[in-house]
Amino acid sequence: MAECIMVGCDLHDKSMLNKMATDQDRPMVRSWGTGVSARAAMIADLKRRAVQTGVRRIVFAYEACGFGFRLHDELTAAGIEAHDLAPSRMERSAKHRRRKTDERDAQAILDRVRAYVLAGVPMPSVWVPDLLTRDDRDLVRLRLAVAEDGSAVQTRIAWLLKRHGIETAPAKARTEAYERWLATLPGSGRLGAGASASLESLLRQWRWLQMECERLDAQVLTLSQTPRWAPVVAALHRHKGVGVLTAMVFLTELGDLSRFSNRRQVGSFLGLTPSSFETGEGSDRKGHITRQGPSRVRKVLCQAVWSRLRSVTSERFAYDRIVAKNPKHKKIAVVARMRAMGVVLWHQGLAAQEARRAENAEARRFAAANA
């Protein structure tokens, strides 16, 4: 009797190609759409095949993408073992990159599933957050995206002025005085009609994005004060240089902090560990940081480090000590302090999360005893 149906899926926005096999049999190919009805039909087809072959276990894998975790949730609800694979951990040869097709991609994923089921090779799966974490993460990510849009608009304004020979301003950039000066340029004769209209449009966009950032800041603050996040955010906020937004970005991106066992795993997840290259008799050569994991966390950690460098003596001392070893590479010191801060925040957040869970468990026991 067959034991397992294994499926490797090459998932796209509007289509998915499945390569499926039972145990060590020859795989077969099946294509599906990605609409609600198509996904339901695919799951029903897998369940029907399992009944026909007497299989109790179905293992389905696909690369994590912008599709989110909807497919994972639907597969899990149907009793199918689902794995979202990290694309950055899927090794691909140069030959594969030159001959990339959906069927070959699905076969590569199926090979991973077979190695996992038949030989116990670990799957390069990503952590799947719960629904509340995903929902909170959407709000925090949008706040960062709106700020990036505002920076892009300011850059367009600066280049518009440079193209028309206005390279100096009477006020520092990105200040209220600078914004008031920009508002006087249209109609001043220093810009043509087209440039004036473009500048007015860019200023309207900039003002709207500023107001939207303020609205989102208020919503993020409200979110941080909910029982789910308040104790942990308070613990991180005590670390000078870490504001509410930085704390929320760190917590929503890392999710359950107890899934990390030590500081090495935290540094690796944040992409702040050096890359390495070792082969044959060649020694282990360290290179630039891997930059894997969420770039949003690295961005807020960098901002927090620079804030601490201006206000915390011990931070400045640690930074200067590293710079003394690498005077020409000061970025190394910044990255080192980012990693140290990430580990400290993990320790503090983990302690706060465990304390909150213990309090919740005690409250449930008390309620059950008095029910």
- C-alpha 322/C-alpha 324 separation (Å) is 5
Listed residue (356, 354, 361) closest to 227, CA to CA? 356
How open is the CA angle 225-230-231, to the nearest 5 degrees? Answer: 160
* Fold that domain 4-119 belongs to in CATH: Nucleotidyltransferase; domain 5 (3.30.420)
Q: Quick one: pLDDT at residue 34?
A: 93
pLDDT at position 280 is: 65
Q: Which residue is associated with the tokens 């993408």? A: 65
Domain ranges of the chain: 4-119, 132-223, 230-369
Tokens representing residue 62 in the block = 């696909």
C-alpha 134/C-alpha 244 separation (Å) is 18
Question: Which residues pair with residue 173 across a beta bridge?
Answer: none
Kindly give, in sequence order, each residue whose CB lies less than 8 Å from that of residue 148, ignoring residues fewer than 6 positions away: none
Question: Which pLDDT value is given to residue 282?
Answer: 62
pLDDT of residue 187: 86
pTM listed for this prediction: 0.90
Q: Which residues of the chain fall below pLDDT 70?
A: 1-2, 279-285
Query: What's the confidence (pLDDT) of residue 353?
Result: 93
| CB-based burial, 252-269: b 16+ in 10 Å, e otherwise | bbbbebeebeeeeebbeb
Identify the CA nearest to 133 among candidates 353, 320, 330.
Answer: 353
Q: Which two tokens stand for residue 171?
A: 């006020």
Distance of CA 122 to the CA centre of its chain: 22
What are the pLDDT digits (tens) for 59-109? 999 999 887 799 999 999 999 999 999 988 887 777 777 888 999 999 999
